[in-house]
Amino acid sequence: MGSYDPGLAAFAPLRYVGSDFENGTIKRDGECTAGVDNAGFVMGTSSSLFNQAFLQIGKAENVPEFLFEAINNTLADIGEENRDIASWLNPFYKYNPRNNSNADSTALTLVDGGEDLQNIPLHPLILSDRQVDVIFAVDGSADTETRWPNGTALVATYQRSKEGVSTQNSEFPKVPDQNTFINLGLNKRPTFFGCDTDTNSSLGPLIVYLPNAPYTYQSNFTTFDLEYNSNWPACVGCAVLARSLVRTGTDMPSKCVDCFERYCWNGTTNSTTPGIYEPEQIITSGVRHQEPFMRAIGASVLVVFMVLYM
């Protein structure tokens, strides 16, 4: 674990992060501990959002005063006991104190990295040393009032990449503002960002943006008459190969040209403020039909549940 950012600029082997590190090494009389890199603990850390309750409770409206005080008191107790964060032994203790802002702390208090709006973990993938060609960014964010994505995660990562925080930042493709995502419908269909390879800037990864949208798909449809794109698998392949084709000077296959014309953001923006975003269901054709086989599965699950419960 670690970061290229100047505030740390160091890494420690994840396998031993529970050990007694001091100034970059495990102390001679310290303990060497393994197992803190447990997937459950790592995933729990990355979803540690409870501290946001402190920040949001004051914004609540129409909450009875007694309930407001009770919640605040409970949260205060949790905060004092540091149960609203994930506490890791600091493997960077006393390391590079001139630049390391956590050098004097024996513990790192970590929370969900998405609290800075980058809830799609793009930043670790755009480091230049990784030489990543394509990133599939699946966005299930609840950015709008109605809990649909509006590209905020991409915008946040783009803005951070332009701040030059890390010398290892690769060139992140230009993305539009959140209003444009909604006004042009970029938040309800697949969109490629970074298709323009004619610029003189270094090539970063191509971003295949896949936002959550109100599609309806029933796997037990007997027939389909939907606007499915049979070329999508080929277009995914084109996205994966796009950067290598540019590096090797290979002509873009006609199929890929068609794909990029359809899916690439063309640079158009529309920054007018949209109304409340209430997307309509995209796929409305087809008749839902539950096959007898599926009904049997449902009945079996119910029986098993009843047996286990009893």
Please give the tally of structural domains in the chain: 2
Q: So what's the pLDDT on residue 277?
A: 87
The secondary structure of residue 250, as a DSSP letter, is P
291 or 168: which leads in pLDDT: 168
Per-residue confidence at 81, pLDDT binned at 50, 70, 90?
low
The total of other beta-carbon atoms located within 10 Å of residue 156's CB is: 19
- The pLDDT score that the predictor gives to residue 282 is 72
Burial 239-249 (b: 16+ CB within 10 A, else e): bebbbebeeee
Residues 145 and 93 in one domain: no
Last residue of a domain, one of 245, 263, 281: 263
Residue 114 pLDDT grade (very low, low, confident, very high; cuts 50, 70, 90): confident
| Domain identity same for 70 and 158 | no
Q: pTM for this structure?
A: 0.71
* Sole residue written with tokens 């970061």: 3
Question: Could you report the per-residue pLDDT of 136-189, keeping only the tens digit for each?
Answer: 999 988 888 888 899 999 999 999 888 877 766 667 899 999 999 999 999 989
Residue 278 domain-assigned (yes or no): no
pLDDT at 202: 59
CA distances from 119 to 1, 129, 157, 200, 309 (A): 18, 22, 9, 30, 38
Range of the domain at 147: 117-263
Using pLDDT thresholds of 50, 70 and 90, give the confidence band for residue 199. low
> Tokens in use for 24?
């970059």
Residue 276 contacts residue 145 (beta carbons within 8 Å): yes
Within 10 A of 271 (CB to CB), how many other CB atoms are there?
11
Whether 210 and 185 map to the same domain: the answer is yes
Give dist(CA 74, CA 52) in Å, integer. 14
